[in-house]
C-alpha cells in the first residue's frame, strides 16, 4: 500500500532469531532492486539476532526461477524459512501477467507441499519508480517486511 512504510516494525515484538537458519533466493533480473531487497532483509535478520553464518544466499536468473531455487534450497539446506526475492515490472505484453501469476502460484505451492515456509518478496509493479520506492525508497523496503515474516514463520515452523 502506498501509505504503508514497508520497513516499519516493532522489534520488541519479535523473538530473537539466533537459533534459526534462513535462506534467500534472489533474482538477478532488475538486480539494483533485488539487491536492495536482499540487503534490507539481511540487515533485518541480523538486527534481530540471526547469525551471518546461518543466512544463505543463492542467485537465480529471474523471478520465474525463484520457485525452483527455493524448492532446492528447502530440500537441501535444512532451513527454518526461505525468502524468495524478485522484481517484475509491467511492460507492453502479457509476459508480466504470466510471470507474476506463475511465481505467486509456485511459491504458494511450495508452502503447501514443503515443511519450510517460503516468503513471497517479489515486487510486481507497473513502473521501475514504484519498485524503487518499495526497495528502500519513500515506501521503505519490502525486504525488511519479508524478513520479519520469515522470523515469525520460523517460530511457527517449530510448533
Question: Is 139 one of the catalytic residues?
Answer: no
Of 4, 78, 95, 97, which residue is the catalytic one?
A: 95
User: Is residue 9 in some structural domain?
Assistant: no
Number of domains forming the structure of the chain: 1
CATH number assigned to the domain comprising residue 92: 3.40.50.960
User: Is residue 57 in some structural domain?
Assistant: yes
Domain that holds residue 95: 18-157
Nearest to 55 by CA among 66, 63, 46, 67: 46
User: Is residue 3 in some structural domain?
Assistant: no
pLDDT at 1 over 60: no
User: Is residue 132 in some structural domain?
Assistant: yes
User: Is residue 131 in some structural domain?
Assistant: yes
CA dist 17 → 47, 78, 151, 155 (Å):
9, 15, 6, 9
Convert the pLDDT of each residue in 15-71 to its tens digit: 999 999 999 999 999 999 999 999 999 999 999 999 999 999 999 999 999 999 999
Amino acid at each position: 500500500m502506498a501509505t504503508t512504510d514497508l520497513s516499519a516494525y516493532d522489534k520488541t515484538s519479535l523473538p530473537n532469531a539466533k537459533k534459526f537458519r534462513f535462506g534467500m533466493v534472489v533474482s538477478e533480473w532488475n538486480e539494483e532492486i533485488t539487491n536492495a531487497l536482499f540487503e534490507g532483509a539481511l540487515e533485518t535478520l541480523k538486527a534481530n539476532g540471526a547469525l551471518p553464518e546461518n543466512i544463505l544466499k543463492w542467485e537465480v536468473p529471474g523471478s520465474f526461477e525463484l520457485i525452483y531455487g527455493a524448492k532446492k534450497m528447502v530440500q537441501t539446506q535444512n532451513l527454518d524459512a526461505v525468502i524468495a526475492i524478485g522484481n517484475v515490472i509491467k511492460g507492453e505484453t502479457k509476459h508480466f501477467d504470466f510471470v507474476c501469476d506463475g511465481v505467486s502460484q509456485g511459491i504458494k505451492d511450495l508452502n503447501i507441499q514443503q515443511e519450510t515456509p517460503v516468503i513471497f518478496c517479489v515486487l510486481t509493479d507497473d513502473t521501475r519508480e514504484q519498485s524503487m520506492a518499495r526497495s528502500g525508497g519513500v515506501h521503505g523496503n519490502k525486504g525488511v517486511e519479508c524478513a520479519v515474516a520469515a522470523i515469525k514463520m520460523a517460530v511457527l515452523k517449530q510448533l
